[in-house]
A and B are shown apart, each in its own frame.
Chain A
Amino acid sequence: MPGHPRAARSRSGRTRRAPYARTAALAAVTAVCLLAGACTGSSGGGAQDDPDAETTLTFWHGWSAPSEVEAIDANIEAFEEKHPNITVKTVKNVSDDKLNQALRAGGGDSPDVVSSFATDNVGRFCAANALADLKPFLAKSGIDPAKTFPKPMLDYTQYEGKRCTLPLLGDAYGLYYNKDAFAKAGIEAPPKTFSEFDEVAKKLTKEKGDSYSQLGFMPNYHGYESTVEHFGAQFGVDYFDADGRAANASDPGMKALFTWQRELVDALGGFEKLERHRSTFGDEWGAKHPFHTGQVAMQLDGEWRGKMAKEAGADFEIGTAPLPVPDGQEDSYGKGYLSGTVVGVASSSPRQNAAWELVRFLTTDTNAVVDFANAIHNVPSTLAAMKSPRLNEDPDYRTFVKIAQHPGSRHAPGSVNGAAYLLTLQDLGYAYESGREKSLDAGLRKADRQIDKDLAQAG
C-alpha cells in the first residue's frame, strides 16, 4: 500500500393524454439510446496503435500526499525520457469508486492507464473486461511473469486466469512493537505464536482508572488495521470453497480467528472499555497515532508505519517482526498479509500499445521499481528489485520485504463484487466482539448466506 490510506476500508395521475404519450415516447427513445451505448467497456484487446508514434497518455493514480506525488512524478519523468514520443498526463488522488465510475462512463477524458490501491477490485475489473488482458503484451515483450514477480503478488493481480493488472509496489503487514515498553515489562523477543502474543499483550497493558495508561494491543475491529483479512492471512483462512461459495462456517481457521480475537478483547478489559480507549486515539494517518504516542505498545501495520512514527517524533525504540501464527503452526512463522497497488490498461483506450509501454516500465524496470519503493517506502514488487543492492537497507523496512517474499504470505481472494465479502465478515466481527451476536457458528452461517447472495446479485 502506497505510503498510506487504504487500510481503513479494511474499510397526478389525471394528466392529459397527449403530453403523457409524448413523454413516454421520449423516455422510450432515450432508453433505447441508453441500451445501445451501454456496453462501452467490453471491447477486446484490439491493440493496433503504434507505440512509437507521438501520443499522450492519461494515467490515473491514487497517491495524494505531496511526497508520494513527487515520487510518482519523478518516475513518470524517467519514463518520458526513455520514450520521448509519449507524454503522460497524470491525475492524482483518484479513489477506487471514482475509477470504477470512470471506467464505466468511458468518454474522452477517461484514462488509458489506471492504478488502484484496492486490490480487492481486481476481480471486478477483470471479470467485466474493464481492463485489457495483459497476457499478449507480456508475451510480445518476452516477459515471463512467474520469473519476474513474487507469486502472492501475481495471484492478487489476476482473476480466474485473466491477467488484467500487474503489481506496482506492494504492502506487507507485520507487527510493530515499542521496544522500551517491552524492556520495562521484561519481554525479550517479539511473540511468535498467538498464545505468546496474548501473554505479551496482557503484560504490556497498564490500567488506569477505567481506562489505560498503556494498552498492549488494540484488538477491536475498529482499531486501526485490525481487520479480518489481516488476521486471516495468519490463520490461513480460505473464505471460499472450490466452487466459489462462501465457506467460512466450515473453516476451522476462521473460527479460530474469531475466537482468538474475542478472547483477547475480554482478556484486555472487555469491548466497552477498549472502545472508550479507542475513541481517544488520534487519526491513523496523523502524528497522534496511538502507537506514536505510546497509547498502544504493539501495532499491526504495513511497512510505512516505521517511517511515519519516526517522522512524528516517537520517542522510543521501534521493533518490527512478522505477526505471530497460531499455536502449532510455528513453521509458517514469517508470513503476513500482502497487498499493494495494481496497474492496468483500460480496455476502452485507443492507445493500448503505448499504455503498455508505461505499465511495463513502471512494473518491471528494476531501477524504476527500486527508486519508487525507496521514495515512498513501499515493498518492491519484482524479484529483481527485492534483491537489488540499491534497496533501502533499514532493518525495519527489510522485515517487511522479507514478509513479502515469504511463500506463505497471501492476499484475500478476489471476487466479482470486490471487497463486499470482507465487509460482511468485518460486520460479523463488530457484532461478535460487542456481544450483539452470541453464537459464532450462527453468525458465520449467516455471513456465508449473505456473501453468497451478494455474489449472486453481482455476478
Chain B
Amino acid sequence: MTTIHPGLKARRRRSALRTAAFLSPWLLGFSVFFAYPLLATLYFSFMKYDGFTAPVWNGLANWSYVFQDYPFFWPALRNTLWLVVVMVSLRVVFGLGVGLLVTRVRTAPGLFRTFFYLPYLAPPVAATMAFVFLLNPGTGPANTVLDLFGMPQPGWFKDADWSKPALTLLALWGIGDLMIIFMAALLDVPRDQYEAAELDGAGPFARFRYVTLPNISPILLFAVVTGVIETMQFYTQPLVAGKVASGVIGGSGQQFEPGYPDQSTLTVPQIVYNLGFQRFDTGSACVVALVLFALCMAFTAVLMRRGSGFLSAED
C-alpha cells in the first residue's frame, strides 16, 4: 500500500467510482428495501403497535405471545413442515419422473413437452381457483370422474385431512419448471457412461442407479433446496384455496377464517398477514417475520455451501 504509484492510485479510485456507479441502483435498493426494513422488523418485534397509537416498548411480550399463546403459530409451522417434507419430495420425484419420460418420448415430443410445461405458467390465483372448482367435493369434475370408476371421493379442500394433499396435487400439476431442469440435466449425462454400464451387464434400474443418479445429483440437491425455500414462502395458493373453499371471499365485507378448514392450510407467511393486517398486532407479526427470515436464510446457506456452484457467489 505504501509504495503505490500516484497514477495507479488515481486509476484505482476511478475504477472504484465506476464500480460504485454501476452498482448504485442496487446499493440503494438493498439499503431501503432490505437492510432498513429488516432492522425495522427487529425493532417492531419489541414494540406494541396497533397502527393507531404510537408504538410503545413491549419487551419480550410479543415473542412469548407468538411462541406460547398465539393459537396459529404452531399449526402454521406444522403445516409448513408437512408441506416441506411431503410436497417437496413428491415434486422432486414427480419432476424427475416427468423429465425422464419426456426424454424418452419419440412421437410428438414437442407436443408432450408443451403439455407438461403449460400448467406451470397458469397464474397461481387462477390455477388455485380452478382446482378448488375441479376438486369441489359435491359437484366437481374430479369427484365425478372418480365416481364413474367407483373410487372414493375425498372432500379435498373442504376436508382438513385432504386439503394439504389437494394443495400438493396443485403443486404437482405445475411441475413444468422442474421438468425442464431435469430434462436438461438428463440430456447432459455422458452417453459413453451408459454404454460402459451396459457392457458390464447393467439393467435399466442399475443404469439409473449407478449412472443417471450420480450425474444429476447436484441438480437434485438444487431442486430440493429451492423447493424447500419456495415451500416456506407458500402463500397465495393455500390462502386463496382456503378463502374460496370456505365460501368467504375477502372482498365482501367479512373477515375470513385463516387456514380453512380447521387451520389445515395455514402456512407461516399467512400468519404474518393474519397478525399484521387482520389483527393489527404489528409486533407479533414482526416476530413471525423474523422466524421466517431465519428459516429461509438457513436453507439458503445450505444451498450456497453445498450447491456445488449453482448459487455460488464465486465464478
Instruction: Tell whether A and B belong to one assembly.
Output: yes
Q: Which 4 A-B pairs have the closest CB atoms?
A: A62-B253, A280-B138, A104-B51, A279-B137
Interface residues of A in 416-430 (CB under 8 A from B): 417-420, 423-424, 426-427, 430
7 CB-based A-B contacts, threshold 8 Å: A35-B55, A97-B277, A101-B277, A117-B254, A118-B253, A130-B52, A453-B65
Is chain B's interface secondary structure helix, strand, loop, or mixed overall? loop
B262 at the interface (CB under 8 A from A): yes
Q: Known A27-B39, A95-B253, A96-B254; judge A450-B53 contact (CB<8 A).
A: no
A38 at the interface (CB under 8 A from B): yes
Is A64 within 8 A of B252, CB to CB? yes
- Chain A 18-54: CB-based contact to B (< 8 A → 1; otherwise 0): 0100111011001100110011111000000000000
Q: Known A34-B40, A38-B54, A457-B61; judge A280-B251 contact (CB<8 A).
A: no
Contacts of A224 in B (CB 8 A): 247
B309 at the interface (CB under 8 A from A): no
Partner of A26, one of B31, B277, B280: B31
**B227 CB to nearest chain A CB (Å):** 24
Interface residues of B in 264-292 (CB under 8 A from A): 277-281, 284
Contacts of A430 in B (CB 8 A): 262
Is B54 within 8 A of A39, CB to CB? yes
Is B246 within 8 A of A453, CB to CB? no
B177 at the interface (CB under 8 A from A): no
Is B255 within 8 A of A118, CB to CB? yes
Is B261 within 8 A of A222, CB to CB? yes
Partner of B254, one of A11, A26, A129: A11
Is A279 within 8 A of B31, CB to CB? no
A273 at the interface (CB under 8 A from B): no
Determine the distance from Cα of A116 to Cα of B252 in the docked complex, in whole angstroms: 10
Please tell me which stretch of A2-10, A191-199, A232-240, A256-264 contacts chain B, meaning at least 4 of its Cβ atoms lie within 8 angstroms of it.
A2-10
Determine the distance from Cα of A458 to Cα of B70 in the docked complex, in whole angstroms: 11
Q: Which residue of the partner chain A has the closest CB to B43?
A: A31
Determine the distance from Cα of A418 to Cα of B277 in the docked complex, in whole angstroms: 13
Determine the distance from Cα of A420 to Cα of B138 in the docked complex, in whole angstroms: 31
Q: Known A117-B253, A282-B139, A285-B247; judge A26-B49 contact (CB<8 A).
A: no
Q: Known A97-B250, A281-B138, A457-B281; judge A9-B255 contact (CB<8 A).
A: yes
Q: Known A27-B39, A41-B52, A282-B139; judge A454-B262 contact (CB<8 A).
A: no
Q: Which residue of the partner chain B has the closest CB to A10?
A: B254
Contacts of A117 in B (CB 8 A): 253-254
- Chain A 215-248: CB-based contact to B (< 8 A → 1; otherwise 0): 0000000101000000000000000000000000
Determine the distance from Cα of A454 to Cα of B278 in the docked complex, in whole angstroms: 13
Q: Known A8-B247, A276-B155; judge A128-B54 contact (CB<8 A).
A: no
Q: Known A95-B253, A285-B247, A453-B69; judge A27-B36 contact (CB<8 A).
A: yes
B71 at the interface (CB under 8 A from A): yes
A141 at the interface (CB under 8 A from B): no
Determine the distance from Cα of A376 to Cα of B79 in the docked complex, in whole angstroms: 41
Determine the distance from Cα of A419 to Cα of B284 in the docked complex, in whole angstroms: 18
Given contacts A130-B52, A420-B279, A453-B65, 15 further A-B contacts (CB under 8 A): A4-B252, A8-B256, A8-B257, A23-B39, A26-B32, A27-B35, A27-B36, A38-B49, A38-B55, A104-B51, A116-B253, A278-B158, A285-B247, A430-B262, A457-B61
- Chain A 73-109: CB-based contact to B (< 8 A → 1; otherwise 0): 0000000000000000000011111101101100000
Determine the distance from Cα of A94 to Cα of B252 in the docked complex, in whole angstroms: 7
Interface residues of B in 237-251 (CB under 8 A from A): 246-251
Contacts of B251 in A (CB 8 A): 64, 93, 95
Q: Which residue of the partner chain B has the closest CB to A288?
A: B139
A251 at the interface (CB under 8 A from B): no
Contacts of A31 in B (CB 8 A): 39-40, 43
A357 at the interface (CB under 8 A from B): no
- Looking at chain B, what size class is its interface with the partner chain? 35 or more
A284 at the interface (CB under 8 A from B): yes
**B245 CB to nearest chain A CB (Å):** 10
Q: Which residue of the partner chain B has the closest CB to A99?
A: B253
Determine the distance from Cα of A64 to Cα of B257 in the docked complex, in whole angstroms: 20
Determine the distance from Cα of A93 to Cα of B251 in the docked complex, in whole angstroms: 6
Determine the distance from Cα of A374 to Cα of B15 in the docked complex, in whole angstroms: 76
Contacts of B32 in A (CB 8 A): 26
- Chain A 416-449: CB-based contact to B (< 8 A → 1; otherwise 0): 0111100110110010000000000000000000
Is B137 within 8 A of A280, CB to CB? yes
Q: Which residue of the partner chain B has the closest CB to A431?
A: B262
Determine the distance from Cα of A40 to Cα of B253 in the docked complex, in whole angstroms: 24
Of B51, B55, B263, B280, most buried by chain A (CB within 10 Å of CB) is B51
Contacts of B257 in A (CB 8 A): 8-9, 11, 423, 426
**B9 CB to nearest chain A CB (Å):** 19
Is A7 within 8 A of B254, CB to CB? yes
Is A279 within 8 A of B158, CB to CB? yes
Contacts of B279 in A (CB 8 A): 417-418, 420, 458
Contacts of B277 in A (CB 8 A): 97, 100-101
Q: Known A26-B36, A34-B40, A101-B277; judge A9-B256 contact (CB<8 A).
A: yes
**B63 CB to nearest chain A CB (Å):** 12
Is A23 within 8 A of B31, CB to CB? yes
Is B69 within 8 A of A450, CB to CB? yes
**B228 CB to nearest chain A CB (Å):** 21
Contacts of B137 in A (CB 8 A): 279-280
Q: Which residue of the partner chain B has the closest CB to A430?
A: B262
Interface residues of A in 332-356 (CB under 8 A from B): none
- Chain B 33-49: CB-based contact to A (< 8 A → 1; otherwise 0): 00110011001000001
A331 at the interface (CB under 8 A from B): no
Is A39 within 8 A of B250, CB to CB? no
**A10 CB to nearest chain B CB (Å):** 8
Is B139 within 8 A of A458, CB to CB? no
Is A8 within 8 A of B254, CB to CB? yes
Contacts of A396 in B (CB 8 A): none
Q: Known A2-B253, A453-B69; judge A275-B35 contact (CB<8 A).
A: no
Q: Which residue of the partner chain A has the closest CB to B263?
A: A427
**B16 CB to nearest chain A CB (Å):** 12
Contacts of B31 in A (CB 8 A): 22-23, 26
